[in-house]
Structure 1
């Protein structure tokens, strides 16, 4: 039989039990299944990812007067292929280090068009009167000055567009660069010139007047090489020499000795001779006098 407890003590005991239950509930461990929410972050769209930068000059790819760099190209080779001085190509494209070009880069291989200065604005009309044409100095009895004549000519006759066909004046009468026999015939696909036989030290002469645009051994497969530029249409190349007797930017005359025959970067003594017409190799025998 339970003991009889006073009413006050019963209430106090109930409060104590209720408080104990509340404290026990607060101290109970959290449900391990209740974790922090995970934010589902979608992957970054491909359109927002950083794109690979295009090679320099890519916007000019395919345009006339531009060349896209291919594997193995150098400025020297590009100059030979396009009929230009490799130093000019370097300058036209602002290339600091000529040994650093990248595949896919697009280079200008024709001279930039000259910037034509704008004509000076016409004199303002006098307020309240219409502008009147000014009589030419000759009409006023005064001789034309150099400046006025130049301005009139420029305004009357704009510069003609460049002709796609080289003028007849660009054609050249070449001479043989060496005296030996032809031992390698021209083949545009495999042999872009002719091989002329000889002995070590035989003279190699300039086939026509021109300027040395390259003299060195920086073009693989050509050995000690000289390239002459004769005009805007023709280049000639002289390869496999044992000694070079001219330097870049030097002017040479037709028949001048420019090298000595050798076997650099080839298996026998010979002169590899090329004629390039606007950069395209043509058969030298069609441009040399018959023997």
Structure 2
């Protein structure tokens, strides 16, 4: 019997009998990839994801030959198609068509996009002055000033030849003749400031109506632009866009035509620390002071 116990102990010490081993914690399991991990896909379309970094620096990026030319835009880190459309004053869906993008959700940093319609004079578009609209206040029944008679009748000059038609540009004749209205009834809580605040803050209560400031078409309705919350963007003509941010509820859809004064959203505080409407007017993509265009209250 003593010899049996001695033999059993020897076998356990040699590890022949696994059941004789003392209980110990199991070794940690290490997961090893079977191959190289694929690079993550970064989306940069009508959403909040940033542009994809250039994947192969040895190949020129799409549109690189147009970098720096008027009418073209070079994609920067953090850009999305929605933001590029807002900054250029265009519908992001039009930008997809003009640039023949196979995947509207993927763009690369350094890629160059056309931001004026094909066939238009991009140089003329980029140099067109962005002047504020001025309205003439005159009673409708005011008599027109009479012409001052001259002391001596001069022979009438032959009519001048009509001026040559200007080259086509992004802004059309009459684009400044927009009948603007205030998009909300509350007081102004934040003023436009060049380089800092791109629009007006209009205070109100949760659920207050947000109205279209002029006739137009919805080019964006969603929450894909960081810092704007639930956002509506209207395009009024070839020159003007308006943006309505931080809404609680959106009441319109993309490509929908809207009328001046139509309720398009309800005021909220999405992506904001308080309830307000952030309202922008953009002329050729550049923010202008809405207070200079809206009628006096």
Global fold match (TM > 0.5): yes
What is the TM-score when the length of structure 2 is the normalising length? 0.64
Cα deviation for residue 65 of structure 1 reads 1.2
Cα deviation for residue 171 of structure 1 reads 2.8
Distance 1:98 1:169 in 2: 29
Residues 74-113 of structure 1 mapped to structure 2, 5 A cutoff: 74-113=80-119
Residues 1-291 of structure 1 mapped to structure 2, 5 A cutoff: 52-113=58-119, 161-163=167-169, 166-291=172-297
Change (3 A) 1:192 1:248: same
Structure 2: where are the runs of 5+ without partners?
1-55, 121-163
SS in 2 for 1:237: strand
CA RMSD of aligned residues (A): 1.9
Work out whether residues 240 and 284 of structure 2, in 8 Å CA contact, stay in contact via their aligned partners in 1.
yes
SS in 1 for 2:244: strand
Work out whether residues 226 and 237 of structure 1, in 8 Å CA contact, stay in contact via their aligned partners in 2.
yes
SS in 1 for 2:277: strand
What is the TM-score when the length of structure 1 is the normalising length? 0.65
Cα deviation for residue 98 of structure 1 reads 2.2
Distance 1:200 1:228 in 2: 22
Cα deviation for residue 55 of structure 1 reads 1.3
SS in 1 for 2:249: strand
Cα deviation for residue 113 of structure 1 reads 1.4
Cα deviation for residue 53 of structure 1 reads 1.2
Work out whether residues 241 and 260 of structure 1, in 8 Å CA contact, stay in contact via their aligned partners in 2.
yes
Moved more, 94-103 or 227-236: 94-103
The structure with more radius of gyration:
1
Distance 1:94 1:206 in 2: 31
Work out whether residues 175 and 237 of structure 2, in 8 Å CA contact, stay in contact via their aligned partners in 1.
no
